[in-house]
Amino acid sequence: MAQWIYRIVPARPARPDAADEQEEAVADHLDYVQALKRAGILILAGRMPEDPATPAITIIEAPDEATARAVMQTDPAVAAGAMIATLYPYVVGAAAGR
């Protein structure tokens, strides 16, 4: 199975008037990542804790680009337009527990 990484960044700077919808999109994204983990699709997900504006990454396994793209585009934060995502092929060289 091939590995893929999608990088997400906020679609726009945080706005006080949109804080609730942005928080909801992030909460839905975190739930989605946990669902990917339970489904055995997720390899790793995370971001730098100091700055929420830094890119976050999600590394997944998928048989092909179309499937990986569908996983990325189904991410609630991406689907809602709160985050902009870019997909890249990836090769996991080594990982704990793999």
Domains, the chain, ordered by start: 2-46+59-90 (3.30.70.1060)
Cβ contacts of 5 within 8 Å, gap of 6 or more: 57, 58, 59, 60, 87, 88, 90
- Amino acid (1-letter code) at residue 26: V
How many whole angstroms separate alpha carbon 92 and alpha carbon 97?
12
Indicate whether this model's pTM tops 0.75. yes
Two structure tokens written together for 78 = 């991406």
One pLDDT digit (tens) per residue for the chain, 98 residues: 899 999 998 887 655 555 566 678 878 999 999 999 999 999 999 988 877 678 899 999 999 999 999 999 999 999 988 889 999 999 998 887 76
The one-character DSSP state at 13 is -
Q: What are the C-alpha distances in Å from 68 to residues 14, 42, 84?
A: 28, 11, 15
